Structure 1
Amino acid sequence: MARRIYIHSTSKSTGGRTAVYGICIGFLLLYLGTIPVASDITERYESLQTELWRDRSGVVLLPKANERGFFSSPAGNVPELFETLLLRKEDRFFYYHLGVNPFSMVRGIASLFQSGGSGGSSTITQQLAKILLGNEAKRTVANKLIESAYAFALELHLSKREILTMYENTAYFGKNRQGIGEASRYFFNKQPTSLTEQEMLQLITALGSPSTRFPGSPKNDALFPSVAEAVSSDVSFASTTIRRTSLSSSKEAIFELQSFNLACDPCDLTIDATLTKEIREVLRRHLASAEDSNVENGAIVVLKLPENELLAIIGSPDPRSLVDGAQLNMALQPRPIGSTAKPFIYLNAFEKGARPYTLIEDEEYSYRIGTGFAFYPKNFDGKFRGTVTLHNALSNSLNVPAVKTLEYVGLPRFYRFLNETLRFVPRQPLSRYELGIALGALEMDLLTLSHFFTIFPNEGVLRPLTLQKSEPGLLSAPMEVLQKETRVAPKTYTQLVTKILADRETAVEQFGLRSNLTLPYKNYALKTGTSRDYHDSWTIGFTPDFLVGVWLGNSDNTPMRELTGQTGAGAIWQDVMTLMYTSSYNKSTPFHFDTVKEFTDSGSVEYGLAGDDYAALRNLMKDHSLILSPHDGDTIELSDKTVIPLVAREPVDWFIDEKFLIHAKETSSSPTKEGKIKIEAKSLKKAELVDIYLISEN
């Protein structure tokens, strides 16, 4: 049987394979060749997203305009109904074409040639390419073809889901709002998932001519019925009030945050926007009602403990106001801190060996200031209380004991505590303040001071302040960055300070039974401060769960009318603390005083530490000076009426320039000449000498 050779069939098979290979190679080349095109579009899409600042709950505080001047933020979830209505209006065959609808394409190009119109009939993929290429205002045949090529490239490299999402986030809806997420928040003050069908249709109606057909515009209202009919929606238009997000209120929400170097996108912050708004209103209300007190400015800081997260920072009651200082973030402006410095002084004294039950003299006292002159500190009420405990002295914010306690601590030691332990950067060298630190001469801003106060509820640990959730530690102009938590004091000593600051009963003498510092709760502690001549009013208070710091004053440094830390900042502090106690941030956490030991003496209870030598430490700082007045170095003006009181701790022999005067506890001398006078007192056990200086009144 003859052998058959199928030469013709083999030739066909080879040709078929060649064609398939050619198609595959061609498609591969097309795919590879369009990668740069698709990448270019994707990069343009990503660059359109505006920088977002979101609070701890995800609320957008204020988006910044992108490089094209539009506000755009990606939508987390888009309702399925919105996408259905969108595709019915813009691109019914979206899932069936490769970026271009050929029939619509021909019709659109013909329209451009015939009437110079917009062309219309573009697919969603083409519209996406047009927006990202920036061709909205340049409707030419060439651009139409370029957009079609880009659309085809997108279809090759992206899924339909990705393309639709990109379009939803880039489409224009009017008023410089780009994307469904930003448009929903701006026009309806809600997330896309909460939109009603009417609101969805109002947004869809804006497409194509957003500058004149944005939601709420007359054209949008007029076209709504025809658009609803076109997308087969039976929703009837009902006139509603468009609740646009107020740009001015948004700017107010981020006014203070602009003081920080927030290098993030998006910025997920620890700030509570709702709480901040409520607290700003508290500040605004109090300042409005304090017209007779000559006070224009204030600041409030709220921290979540123990994490040290910044919940609220208010540096101006109304950043939009034209009042002096309204445009300043006063929470970051250094001011004299008054008596709020005292807890840190007593903390160092306890570390050195003193205790809350240690006795100290509250009496007339002088110390030399940097100029060489004597300075006489007075208490706020002008009274001296004699021998008191450090507990009583701190509770009632007594000035003379604070100065003496700082002397006991030693200025070099306290300078190291501020500079090296707290890493505080003062406005001028600490040596210029000297013992004046105890009287509130040191300047700090409210945020820094509030941060330092966290060492008491956090039991000796200074943690970084956190503003960005992803980055603990924040940078502000007056502060260094604290990158990691640092133990700045043993908890035994911070517990002693907190125990005193939480004791409102001992503070009754100075602040009264009921005041702005009184709250119907037990787990809180606080310290007030008033700078000289009522320039600044401070209150810093805390629980284990949160801290509230308040400052009142004037940005131009003019004095207030007798507003103290209690009557000024204290009233605002009370209202903000009440807000915090009724918030979810209050966990009713009690203070821990596990290292504190009670000592009973003559029926009263004092606090110390286990292992204390109570008798020795009680008299550790008691003043044993024999001469109480005058003081060594006093300079007195001489006249024919000058009388120098001579006061000793016990009856003594008094000598003036080595001449015996009298044996007495108290007497006086009437000098007649200028110059240095030596005054000596002698008892059975000791002798003491002071020098005073008399100068002519001329």
Structure 2
Amino acid sequence: MPRTTRILTWRQRRARRTGHTGRVILRILAIILLVLILTGFASSFVSVSAAAAIYSYFTSDLPDYTELDRLGQDAQTTFETTKIYAWGRGPDGQRQLVLIYEIIDPLGGDRQWIALEQIPQDLVNATVAIEDKTFWTNRGFDVQGIGRAFYEYVLQGGSVQGGSSITQQVVKNNLIAEERRVVGEEVTADDYRRKVEELLLAQRVSQSYTKEQILTWYLNTNFYGNLAYGIEAAARVYFNKPAAQLTLAEAAMLAAIPQSPALNPIDNPTEAKFRQELVLEAMLREGYINRDQLVAAKYTPLTVAPGIEERFDIIAPHFALYVRKELERRFGPEQVLRGGLQVYTSLDLEMQRQAECVARAQVTRLSGEVGAALPADELANCPALDYLLPLPAGDVGLDHNVNNAAIVALDPTTGEIKVMVGSLDYWDDSINGPFNVAVDGLRQPGSSFKPFTYLTALSQGYNAATMVLDVETDFGTPYNGIAYIPQNYDRQFHGPMRLRTALANSYNVPAVEVMSWVGVDNVIRTAHSMGLTSLDQGNNQYGLALTLGGGEVRLLDMAYAFAVMDNMGAMVGQPRPEELQRLGYRTLDPVAILRVTDRDGEILYEYSQPERREILTPQLAFIMNDMLSDQNARCPAFGCPNALQLPDSRPAAVKTGTTNDYRDAWTVGYTPQLVTGVWLGNTDNTPMRNLPGSKGAAPIWRAFMSWALQDVPAAGWPRPAGLNELAVCDTSGLLPTDLCPTVSEYFIPGTEPTVYDNIYQEFRINRETGRLATIYTPANLIDTQVFKIYPERAADWVRENDLPQPPTEYDTITASGASRQGVTITSPQPFDFVNGLVEVRGSTQLDDFAYYRLAYFQGLTPVDIRAIADNVPDQKQDDVLGSWDVSNLNGLYTLLLTVVRSSGTFEEVSIPVTIDNTPPTVDILFPLPNQSIFTDEDWVIIQALATDDISIDRVEFYVDSAGVPFAISTVPPFSETWPIPGPGCHTFRVVAVDAAGNETPSDAVRVCLVDRDS
């Protein structure tokens, strides 16, 4: 039997030899011969020249089926082991390849061939029932099964798998060359030929041997997973007993394994139990057992033996076994066990060991141990400990109830895994050490999830300077009937701030607010596209709390997703297996295997050139990197210096996370050269004691990153073209005035602010009365003061924090106001917004009335007074005093009414008004014109950008031809949602209305709602 392992090379040569034409010809020949075989007329037609030629073509190079007689004699054959290597340092200190794992078949030199009489009848019956129910009567193949597969692989040109009887499987696994058994992504001519050869050989074997002999071969050569070849090995591996002692329940579970060896009771107990029940149902249908036996076997508890991994000679066991699984997926378990593969991996053993020792030291300290955090020999070989910050005095000797940690480090430019610490000790069962938390652990990430929310906001037109309110906010009533009012970690609210400040300090309320702006579904899609493979329970399972880490993720996925931002928006790696790919999720995977060769040194696989997917624009990635690496911005919450800062002010983007009850502590961060994710907690999910990510995981992250990068020049992220840098007002993020402090911020073109700051406002105040000054306040009593005027939603926060606010009453010591002894201006009212032609109404009721004058001047100081109505002799009672054309004016003006008596004395009143003749501007930022949105997204988010030179009163949202808005937004950001009724196209428009009543409609945006699978 050929023993070559050059599967991939052979596939490439085969593909070159057999093109489309060859496949068509072979398919036609296969149809003819299959018809002959299935109808039993193959031998009777050999006299016919055409049939004889076809038959001769397929039988000219058939293997000798009598080789099966040697199977029992070869049972003791030993196979070459697979060796897995990583880069490390040898005894001489030189960098070299180090063997980290040798995959040895523990039963390879002691395979026990047993006779059919030693195998329980229940196992024989279970095998026949699930694999080949017509085995005892067929001619080597199941006619119905072959018929079904015939249509698929011959007539449709699909897969050539399926329809294999027990006899066919014996033929394929023992007579067909190993490299021909592996089917590529595309069916080739040789695949058709191999399938026909299997049928011909199965027919000959069935004619030449008894069914008992064939079944003996089958049960003794099958692969049952976990290194077990043959039913005797399987019985001992899974149940620690000989096959002769298997019960019906155990036999049914083992019979299901050969179809999918990975779905066994050690590696996948839930699926193995499900498949056991399928076998029992098949046995019932075929009459091998009755219903009572089925029920008894189904509910019989099974004691499964522990895994049989060798403890000896394995370094970085979680990574080594991760590599092994990938090898088995690529080449099959049999090839990995006995193929003599040489496997070269991405792991850096020096980095791996430093990550391990730093994590162990930190967990030891946090467990209350005082003194040396590591044994002396390990301490001497852990230079990364030099970078581990001392514990705060209050934490020394304090037990935080933590016993485990996991770490992943990646090269963001290649996707290669450099470090994988799945637990603190693989061999420590007290912490469930074999469980790989880094790869298989689904954990809530806490605030380390927030970057996906803010990134989604940036992609929808918000910017890092957009103002968000950190004030007590009720976000509605979720499904549990309890109002959702999130709290910050410090149980305080911090008021209005820019998105940059909110993210850097990890404040919770702003993150939930931003999630409400952009939509939960959209954030999940962002996370999926960047690399998260979880959060797949249906979008209606997640609410606004997802932004605080209310969904489960994997550490490796988080590090890989952060690498997208690190790599300026590009995901790099190897293609994700096709069977694991899902719409909307990542299509690449991080890389563990760099090269695989066979026993002869021929390359079977090589990761020579990373594949690349552009997930984010470089501009989005740069802004996120800048926000996450802003050391000054995070000082209010984390203090400065802190565990998120690397030595020598090296730029590092980083985010911490802490879950409820301190069950998980996270830190995920990166520089342009390295991405590292750290998880701290307990494998059994019990809570730690007062241990946030910043105190538990961040020191590990800092120590490891500092050591790993100590000889690497510091570097930041290059600023891409297509970004504008502008000065904006701190807090509001709007264009600066002379009154506000400014900061510099980056903007994607089109997202820059267009209006001036309205937070910092100037007020003229009578310093003696403490009231707002009027035109009658003596100039020597007026002080000009600047106050911060926040949105109404922040009013409670302003009061609770005793922030200075301007007075609300006007000076009444000398001011006449809008009414004085029968002289009044009734319309407009003080501080009204007006435009166009203004009708001024009021009264001029004075004794000894002579005439009145109506005039105006700009601002509050009577300079350059201009007449509206001059020396009018008609006395008025709540009537029109004059018409004022303000169409060419803008800003604050004062109306002045003077009523003169015959004696020459007068009374005077005035009111200030704001003139606004400039209509607002408005655009729909999201959705985009002609965008398609899936109907399973529940709602369409409409985000508008509305600006005005004075003040926006409201933004009205309309759909299709409706004359009434479906929503009105009065507070920026102007964003509303519209429930999706089903498939169809709709047109959205918005109308912005300013405080003076000026209106501006937006351009209409057409959106089509489509089913995801349409």
Tell me which interval the TM-score lies in, with the shorter structure as reference length.
0.5 to 0.7
Give 1:405 deviation, angstroms: 0.8
> Does the 8 A contact of 1:361 with 1:401 survive in 2?
yes
Give 1:418 deviation, angstroms: 3.4
User: Which residue of the partner structure matches residue 681 of structure 2?
Assistant: 553
User: Which residue of the partner structure matches residue 474 of structure 2?
Assistant: 366
| Structure 2: gaps (5+ residues) | 1-66, 88-95, 110-309, 332-340, 368-398, 573-588, 597-609, 729-739, 760-788, 798-804, 809-951, 955-967, 971-1014
Mapping of residues 121-520 of structure 1, within 5 Å: 248=311, 250-259=313-322, 260-263=325-328, 265-291=341-367, 292-331=399-438, 332-368=440-476, 369-419=478-528, 422=531, 424-426=533-535, 428-463=537-572, 464-470=589-595, 484-520=611-647
State how far apart, in whole Å, the 2-side matches of 1:630 and 1:588 are: 45
Query: Which amino acid in 2 is paired with 1:300?
Result: I
> Does the 8 A contact of 1:396 with 1:511 survive in 2?
yes
Larger proportion of helix: 1
State how far apart, in whole Å, the 1-side matches of 2:403 and 2:953 are: 59
* 2:102 is the counterpart of 1:63: yes
State how far apart, in whole Å, the 2-side matches of 1:688 and 1:330 are: 45
Give 1:430 deviation, angstroms: 2.9
| Structure 1: gaps (5+ residues) | 1-35, 71-246, 472-482, 632-648, 653-683, 690-698
> Does the 8 A contact of 1:357 with 1:606 survive in 2?
no
* 2:161 is the counterpart of 1:52: no
* TM-score, structure 2 normalization: 0.38
Q: Deviations over 1:243-298 (max 9, x none)?
A: xxxx8573352234314432362221111123212221111111111111100111
> Does the 8 A contact of 1:356 with 1:608 survive in 2?
yes
* 2:652 is the counterpart of 1:524: yes
Give 1:519 deviation, angstroms: 1.5
Q: Deviations over 1:318-340 (max 9, x none)?
A: 11223233231111301011111
Question: 1:470–1:650: structure 2 CA closer, same or farther, 3 Å change rule?
Answer: farther
State how far apart, in whole Å, the 2-side matches of 1:565 and 1:688 are: 38
* 2:753 is the counterpart of 1:615: yes
SS in 2 for 1:551: strand
Structure 1 runs of 4+ aligned residues shifted over 4 Å read 43-47, 66-70, 419-423, 617-621, 623-631, 649-652, 684-689
Give 1:597 deviation, angstroms: 3.5
Query: Which amino acid in 1 is paired with 2:720?
Result: D
User: Which residue of the partner structure matches residue 215 of structure 1?
Assistant: none
State how far apart, in whole Å, the 2-side matches of 1:614 and 1:402 are: 21
State how far apart, in whole Å, the 1-side matches of 2:518 and 2:666 are: 24
Residues matched between the structures, number: 420
Question: 1:650–1:447: structure 2 CA closer, same or farther, 3 Å change rule?
Answer: farther
Larger proportion of strand: 2
Query: Which amino acid in 1 is paired with 2:745?
Result: Y
Question: 1:543–1:618: structure 2 CA closer, same or farther, 3 Å change rule?
Answer: farther
Equivalent of 1:598, from 710, 722, 725? 725
Question: 1:346–1:627: structure 2 CA closer, same or farther, 3 Å change rule?
Answer: closer
Give 1:360 deviation, angstroms: 1.1
Equivalent of 1:537, from 654, 665, 673? 665
Kindly report the root-mean-square deviation, in angstroms, between the aligned alpha carbons of the 2 structures: 4.0
* 2:700 is the counterpart of 1:572: yes
> Does the 8 A contact of 1:359 with 1:618 survive in 2?
no
State how far apart, in whole Å, the 2-side matches of 1:627 and 1:303 are: 44
Question: 1:453–1:500: structure 2 CA closer, same or farther, 3 Å change rule?
Answer: same
Q: Deviations over 1:410-433 (max 9, x none)?
A: 223223333456463325323222
> Does the 8 A contact of 1:550 with 1:572 survive in 2?
yes
State how far apart, in whole Å, the 2-side matches of 1:567 and 1:627 are: 34
SS in 1 for 2:463: coil
Mapping of residues 81-120 of structure 1, within 5 Å: none
> Does the 8 A contact of 1:52 with 1:63 survive in 2?
yes
Question: 1:612–1:573: structure 2 CA closer, same or farther, 3 Å change rule?
Answer: same
> Does the 8 A contact of 2:651 with 2:716 survive in 1?
yes
> Does the 8 A contact of 2:412 with 2:564 survive in 1?
no
Question: 1:517–1:383: structure 2 CA closer, same or farther, 3 Å change rule?
Answer: same
Query: Which amino acid in 1 is paired with 2:99?
Result: V
- Identity across the alignment (%): 26
> Does the 8 A contact of 1:529 with 1:537 survive in 2?
yes
Question: 1:559–1:509: structure 2 CA closer, same or farther, 3 Å change rule?
Answer: same
State how far apart, in whole Å, the 2-side matches of 1:286 and 1:494 are: 32
State how far apart, in whole Å, the 1-side matches of 2:423 and 2:694 are: 20
Q: Deviations over 1:604-633 (max 9, x none)?
A: 323222644633489899x997566999xx
Question: 1:629–1:515: structure 2 CA closer, same or farther, 3 Å change rule?
Answer: closer
State how far apart, in whole Å, the 1-side matches of 2:493 and 2:406 are: 33
State how far apart, in whole Å, the 2-side matches of 1:531 and 1:588 are: 32
Query: Which amino acid in 2 is paired with 1:396?
Result: N
Give 1:60 deviation, angstroms: 0.8
> Does the 8 A contact of 1:51 with 1:63 survive in 2?
yes
Question: 1:46–1:348: structure 2 CA closer, same or farther, 3 Å change rule?
Answer: farther
State how far apart, in whole Å, the 2-side matches of 1:427 and 1:406 are: 18
SS in 2 for 1:328: coil
Instruction: Choose between structure 1 and 2 for higher RCO, CA contacts under 8 A separated by at least 6 residues.
Output: 1
State how far apart, in whole Å, the 2-side matches of 1:414 and 1:303 are: 24
SS in 1 for 2:347: coil
> Does the 8 A contact of 2:470 with 2:496 survive in 1?
yes
> Does the 8 A contact of 2:468 with 2:498 survive in 1?
yes
> Does the 8 A contact of 2:409 with 2:675 survive in 1?
yes
User: Which residue of the partner structure matches residue 283 of structure 2?
Assistant: none
Mapping of residues 635-674 of structure 1, within 5 Å: none
Question: 1:375–1:262: structure 2 CA closer, same or farther, 3 Å change rule?
Answer: same
* TM-score, structure 1 normalization: 0.54
State how far apart, in whole Å, the 2-side matches of 1:627 and 1:518 are: 35
State how far apart, in whole Å, the 1-side matches of 2:507 and 2:629 are: 17
SS in 2 for 1:262: helix
State how far apart, in whole Å, the 1-side matches of 2:499 and 2:700 are: 28
Query: Which amino acid in 2 is paired with 1:50?
Result: T
State how far apart, in whole Å, the 1-side matches of 2:541 and 2:756 are: 32
State how far apart, in whole Å, the 2-side matches of 1:337 and 1:349 are: 20
Give 1:316 deviation, angstroms: 1.0
